[in-house]
Amino acid sequence: MTDILPAFEQGRHLLSVSQFTRENLKRLFDVADAVDPIAKRQAVCTALDGAMLGSLFFEPSTRTRLSFESAFQRLGGEVTTTTGFTFSSMAKGESIADTSRVVSGYSDVLVVRHPDEGSVAQFADASVVPVINAGDGAGEHPSQALLDVYTLEKELSLRDKVVDGSHLAIIGDLKFGRTVHSLMKLMSLYHHLTFTVFSPPGLELPSSIEQYVTQRGHHVHVVDNVVEAVHGVDVIYATRVQRERMTEELDQAGTRGDLLNWSILAEADNLDAILMHPLPRDSRPDAFDLSNDVDDLPGLAIFHQTDNGINVRMAIFLTTLGVSIEAVHLTTKQRSWKATLRP
Ligand code: ASP
Ligand code: CP
C-alpha cells in the first residue's frame, strides 16, 4: 500500500491510516461522538435502511468482525458474511479479484480481513464498492488505529492531558503486529510524541515505520528492557506475539513468561499508566502477553477500546456511504426495551 492514497471520504476505500489528516481525523471522531447513543443502544437508527455490508474475514477475528457488523446493523443496514477460506470458493481456487467483484456486486461496502500484506488493496482494485481494510497480514489495521487514537484522546483528557507531547511505550511483537504499524503512523499526525519501544529479539519494529515517525518530527527510543520501556510513560500499548505469522525458530525466541504484569509496572513505578492493547490478549501460560493481574489497575483502557470500536466503525460507514449526521438524527428514535440486568 502506498502513502499517496486519496483522503478517506464518501465513496473511498479505507486501506491505510495514511489517508488521514488531522482535519478528517477530527471529523471522523466528531461523528463517532455524535452516534454515541446509537452505539450504546439507547437509541435506534435506520439511516442505512436497505444498505448491505459484505463482511469477508479470511483470518480469525472476534471484535473487528462483530463490531463492524454490529455498527452496520445499529445504523439500520443488513450484513452478509463469510468467514475463513474453507467456506468460500477461494477453497476452490477462486482469485481475490473474482471474489471481490462478485461479492461487491451484492453489497454497498465491503469489510475485508486477509492474511497477506497488500491483499485488501487487491480486493479494492476489483471491487465496485468501497472496501475497508480490517487487517492485511502484517501490513495495516486502520480501523483499530482509529479506535485506539479515539480512545487515547478520551483517556488522556480524563487526566487533563492531550495526545500532543505525550510519551508512549509500545511493547511486544512490533514486527508482525499490524496494529502497531497503523497506530504509530496515525499518531504521527500529532505533535512532539515520544515512543519508547521494546520487543523480544527478532520481533523489532520495521525500520520503515520508525522512519515514517521520525521524519514527521517524533522521537523513537529503542530499549532492551521492559521495565525501562514503561518507566515514566503516559501510555503503554502492549501487543500479542503474532505466532501465526512466524517461523518456529522465531516463536522460540525469548517469548515466554509475561510481557507485562503488575510486578513489572510496580518495579517501573508506573502503576497509574494508561494501559492499552488491541486484543485478543493471549492468556495461556507463558504466552508473553499482558497479564490478567493488571485488570484492577485504574488506567486499564482495553475494554474502553473495544466499546469505542462500535462508534468509530459507525463513523467509518457513515463517511464512506455519504450519510450526514443530520440524516442520522432524522432517522433515530428512542429504544423501547430495557436490556439491563435486574439489581
Ligand atoms: N486483533 C489484532 C489484529 O488482528 C491484534 C492481534 O491479533 O494480536 O491485528
Ligand atoms: N483487535 C482485533 O483486531 O481483534 P480481532 O482479531 O478479534 O478482530
Partners of 33 in the β-ladder: none
On the question of a cis peptide bond just before residue 285, with omega within 30 degrees of 0, the verdict is no
What is the reported pLDDT for 255? Answer: 75
What is the reported pLDDT for 18? Answer: 96
244 lines ligand 2 (CB under 6 A): no
Task: Please give the chain's pLDDT, 343 residues, in tens.
Answer: 445 789 999 999 999 999 999 999 999 999 999 999 999 999 999 999 999 999 999 999 999 999 999 999 999 999 999 999 888 999 999 999 999 999 999 999 999 999 999 999 999 999 999 999 999 999 999 999 999 999 999 999 999 999 999 999 999 999 999 999 999 999 999 999 999 999 998 899 999 999 999 999 999 999 999 999 999 999 999 999 998 888 765 666 667 889 999 999 999 999 999 999 999 999 998 899 999 999 999 999 999 999 999 999 999 999 999 999 999 999 999 998 887 787 7
Task: Find the 343 Cα to ligand 1 centroid distance in Å.
Answer: 35
Query: 314: buried, middle or exposed (CB in 10 Å: 19+, 13-18, 0-12)?
Result: buried
| Ligand 1: nearest atom to the Cα of 179 | 9
Give which of 134, 185, 181, 179 is closest to 13, Cα–Cα: 134
pTM value is 0.96
309 lines ligand 2 (CB under 6 A): no
Partners of 334 in the β-ladder: 43
Task: Find the 131 Cα to ligand 1 centroid distance in Å.
Answer: 19
R_g (Cα) of the chain, nearest Å: 20
Would you state the cell numbers that stand for residue 271, as one nine-digit string?
502503576
Alpha-carbon distance of 197 to 237, in angstroms, equals 10
Would you state the cell numbers that stand for residue 107, as one nine-digit string?
453489497
Query: Coil, strand or helix: which one is 112?
Result: strand
Alpha-carbon distance of 342 to 37, in angstroms, equals 21
218 lines ligand 1 (CB under 6 A): no
Give which of 196, 157, 143 is closest to 309, Cα–Cα: 143
**Helix segments in the chain, DSSP class H:** 22-34, 36-39, 63-74, 96-104, 119-126, 142-158, 178-187, 207-214, 226-230, 248-251, 262-267, 302-320, 325-330
How would you label 221-260 residue by residue, b for 16+ Cβ within 10 Å and e otherwise?
A: eebeebbebbbebbbbbbbbbbeebbeeebeeeebeebbb
- Contact between 123 and 137 (Cβ < 8 Å): no
- For the sheet containing 78-83, what is the strand order? 78-83, 52-57, 109-114, 131-136
Alpha-carbon distance of 96 to 127, in angstroms, equals 10
What is the reported pLDDT for 343? Answer: 73
Task: Find the 221 Cα to ligand 2 centroid distance in Å.
Answer: 27
